[in-house]
Structure 1
Amino acid sequence: MTARLACTWYGLDDVPVDAPVLVLGNSIGTNQGMWAPLIPELAGRFRVLAVETRGHAGSEVLPGPYSLDELGQDFLALFDELHLGTVRYAGLSLGGMIGMWLAAHAPERVERMALICTSAYLPPATNWIERAETVRAKGTGSIADVAAGRWFTEGFRAREPERVAAAVAMLEATPDEGYAACCEAIAGMDLRGDLPRITADTLVIAGADDPATPPSHAEAIVGSVPGARLQIVPDAAHLATLEQPEAIGALVVAHLGGAR
């Protein structure tokens, strides 16, 4: 059963009607606000579709656990509903995992993609199951401090407390069941065998200081996806789109192209 996904279009009035569609996939515990600093640049080149993953923001919250297959099928159902053929894709963390699933299972739908601060396999599963249990019992707010410590470098947290607080507010607004069930999807995820089937032109971006999905995870993806390239961004932890938006935006635009 697919879930109804909330989404927002950007750039429809700013680019030609035949400009490529760029789909954005959010990380676990955030919403399309994690792309906000990049939207002005992206919307000047693409028809941008920011999608909220199942269980997040305005998307449908079905009872968990979820699987990555289900999350990917949600996106395909949305593409069909909107009559989208081939798209370009950028996803961070869970959004990147969904992007890899799409590119492996529906290669005709993804032409190019940028995978940001993500992983094809993120054990141990017990950590994700325990986190799901905590959130169901105590709410997403109970893990806010830990999340902020993984999302941003210490220097950024000291310099930009308001931006960190805004990011944490996204987490606290995420439905408890949606977050927990997506944790279970990550617990059961193993995309390593799918990566060699990906034909999309792929750029993998890692934050040099990311404790959640370190650069070694990006290197593993690059080593298995034919023709993939790696870019490591300095002074960035996990939510690199918020910590280093100019660097991430430049890399995404250079790789995915778009109207000019």
Structure 2
Amino acid sequence: MFQPILERLCDNFRVVTVDPRGSGRSAGLHRPYTIAEHANDALAVIRELGATRLIGVGISMGANVLFRVAHQAPGLFSGIVTIGAPPAGQGQEHFSDDWIALQAEMRRNGEVEPMLRLHVGQIFSEPEMHEMLDSVVRSRLKLPKETLLSFFLDATDGDVTGILPAVHAPTLVTHGAEDRLVSFAAAEQTVSLLPDATLHVFNGKGHLPLFTATAEFCNVLEAFISSLAADRPA
């Protein structure tokens, strides 16, 4: 799914994607695997890269991970880009009642598939994505069950609203106007709390506009990076 973005950006940028702990070729995880632990892993990867200019792009809760990294290591990021971020974590504030109810049920019975189907349906809500929903669910079900349980249940420290005023990296907050997973109010809250943030709205798009509006997303990202370069002192 990232291939169109990589093809668009790799001529001008070094793009690094990561298999988070518990997926792909990364090591397994031991629950609870918290957002703080995820941030420590991300920081280790970033430091290993040794990049002098680094733009962090965080998708959904991945943005909360980046905010924790930025708070822990000020000056590390030249800029941050968020996509559908829920700054208050997976609480009631920005998620639907269906999400909260299924999360509680999964906590009781350990069954991940109903929650996974709800999640996939909400993140790929645009009509053109409907044909791929079942294949995405099947792919996700191949992950270790502990990874899935951790993803849906272990982010109890996901609320980053308290640290956002101390995150000074220029931040581009992007959000789909039709996001069914994380309400648009989440983007407004993020922008209101960050010292240096701008908002870009993807009209008519859902939770993952980088996949459903790839050209627009890449244009916005490239313009943001160019603006950062223009602001650097000579």
1:205-231 deviations in Å (ceiling 9; x for gaps): 001111211211011000011120011
Distance 2:206 2:80 in 1: 21
Q: Which residue of 1 aligns with 2:232?
A: none
Partner SS, residue 75 of structure 2: helix
Indicate how the Cα distance of structure 1 residues 145 and 190 shifts in structure 2: closer, same or farther if over 3 A, else same.
Answer: closer
Q: Is 1:205–1:233's contact at 8 Å kept on the other side of the alignment?
A: yes
Q: Which residue of 2 aligns with 1:130?
A: 104
CA-CA distance at 1:48 after TM superposition: 0.8
Q: Is 1:117–1:218's contact at 8 Å kept on the other side of the alignment?
A: yes
CA-CA distance at 1:131 after TM superposition: 6.5
Q: Is 1:66–1:184's contact at 8 Å kept on the other side of the alignment?
A: no
Q: Which residue of 1 aligns with 2:196?
A: 227
Q: Which residue of 2 aligns with 1:51?
A: 18
Residue of structure 2 aligned with 1:206, choices 151, 175, 194: 175
CA-CA distance at 1:191 after TM superposition: 0.5
Q: Does structure 1 residue 240 correspond to structure 2 residue 214?
A: no
Q: Is 2:36–2:157's contact at 8 Å kept on the other side of the alignment?
A: no
Q: Sequence identity, in percent? A: 24
- Give structure 1 stretches of 5+ with no counterpart: 1-32
Q: Which residue of 2 aligns with 1:23?
A: none
Partner SS, residue 232 of structure 1: strand
Indicate how the Cα distance of structure 1 residues 229 and 170 shifts in structure 2: closer, same or farther if over 3 A, else same.
Answer: farther
Q: Is 1:215–1:232's contact at 8 Å kept on the other side of the alignment?
A: no
CA-CA distance at 1:176 after TM superposition: 1.7
Q: Which residue of 2 aligns with 1:121?
A: 88
- The letter of the residue matching 1:211 is R
Residue of structure 2 aligned with 1:218, choices 187, 199, 202: 187
Bigger mean CA deviation after superposition, 51-60 or 230-239: 51-60
Indicate how the Cα distance of structure 1 residues 251 and 103 shifts in structure 2: closer, same or farther if over 3 A, else same.
Answer: same
- Give structure 2 stretches of 5+ with no counterpart: 94-98, 230-234
1:151-201 deviations in Å (ceiling 9; x for gaps): 12252345xx14x44533442233221121133343332111110111111
Q: Give the count of matched residue pairs.
A: 221
Residue of structure 2 aligned with 1:90, choices 54, 57, 61: 57
Q: Which residue of 2 aligns with 1:40?
A: 7
TM-score, normalised with respect to structure 1: 0.75
Q: Is 1:92–1:116's contact at 8 Å kept on the other side of the alignment?
A: yes
1:72-97 deviations in Å (ceiling 9; x for gaps): 00011122333345521111112111
Distance 1:146 1:73 in 2: 29
CA-CA distance at 1:107 after TM superposition: 1.8
Distance 2:215 2:40 in 1: 31
Q: Is 2:126–2:206's contact at 8 Å kept on the other side of the alignment?
A: no
Q: Is 1:209–1:234's contact at 8 Å kept on the other side of the alignment?
A: yes
Indicate how the Cα distance of structure 1 residues 175 and 236 shifts in structure 2: closer, same or farther if over 3 A, else same.
Answer: farther
RMSD: 2.6
